[in-house]
């Protein structure tokens, strides 16, 4: 038999003003530029320590809906930052594209024998405030500028 309450959530019957149902919570996250799949929402909330509870079920069929406590602004910023460091979500993939574009921009502007892969990675990190390493620089330059790699130190 499947466990319908894997996070051992309590049923709340009152003080539901600072809780949102699944659809409202998804809309709230989307409005704050955090994209999560609907079927992954309880796991996402558990991972980021967002309080959840079971609401009151309407009707006699089905399970009680999961409701989510509205996180504070600081918590949302913390989640965005954590998501920006991973390449497995929308925000992380956007950041990889930004890093790739910045790498190519720095490489194209650089004078001959003045930049290395490490120095380009450092400049990308400083300008975008996102971690970048020389392995990403190497991959991007090998893919997009392989004929001009002699320009590097």
Per residue in 108-133, pLDDT (tens digit) is: 888 888 888 999 999 999 998 888 98
Mean pLDDT, the chain, integer: 86
Q: Are residues 100 and 128 in the same domain?
A: yes
Q: Are residues 103 and 137 in the same domain?
A: yes
**What region does 62 belong to: left with phi over 0, alpha with psi -120 to 50, or beta?**
left
Helices (H), the chain: 22-31, 41-47, 73-84, 90-109, 117-128, 134-144
Which residue range(s) make up the domain with 130?
90-151
Q: Are residues 98 and 141 in the same domain?
A: yes
On whether residue 6 sits in a domain, the answer given is no
Q: Are residues 147 and 94 in the same domain?
A: yes
Q: Are residues 95 and 53 in the same domain?
A: no
Number of domains in the chain: 2
Q: Are residues 144 and 100 in the same domain?
A: yes
By C-alpha distance, which of 17, 105, 106 is closest to 53?
17
Is the pLDDT assigned to residue 5 strictly greater than 70? no
pLDDT (0 to 100) of residue 1: 46
pLDDT (0 to 100) of residue 11: 77
Q: What is the pLDDT of residues 43-90, one digit of tens each?
A: 999 999 999 988 877 777 777 788 999 999 999 999 988 888 888 888
On whether residue 133 sits in a domain, the answer given is yes
Q: Are residues 127 and 96 in the same domain?
A: yes
On whether residue 1 sits in a domain, the answer given is no
Whether this prediction's pTM lies above 0.75 is answered by no
Percent of the chain residues topping a pLDDT of 90: 44
């Amino acid at each position: 038999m499947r466990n319908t309450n894997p996070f051992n959530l309590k049923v709340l019957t009152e003080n539901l003003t600072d809780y949102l149902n699944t659809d409202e919570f998804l809309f709230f996250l989307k409005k704050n530029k955090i994209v999560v799949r609907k079927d992954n929402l309880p796991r996402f909330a558990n991972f980021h320590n967002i309080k959840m509870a079971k609401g009151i079920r309407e009707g006699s069929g089905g399970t009680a809906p999961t409701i989510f406590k509205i996180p504070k602004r600081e918590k949302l910023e913390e989640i965005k930052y954590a998501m920006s460091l991973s390449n497995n979500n929308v925000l992380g993939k956007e950041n990889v594209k930004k890093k790739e574009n910045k790498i190519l921009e720095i490489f194209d502007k650089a004078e001959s024998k003045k930049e290395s892969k490490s120095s380009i990675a450092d400049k990308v990190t400083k300008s975008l405030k996102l971690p970048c390493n020389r392995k990403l620089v190497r991959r991007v330059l090998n893919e997009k500028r392989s004929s001009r790699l002699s320009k590097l130190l």
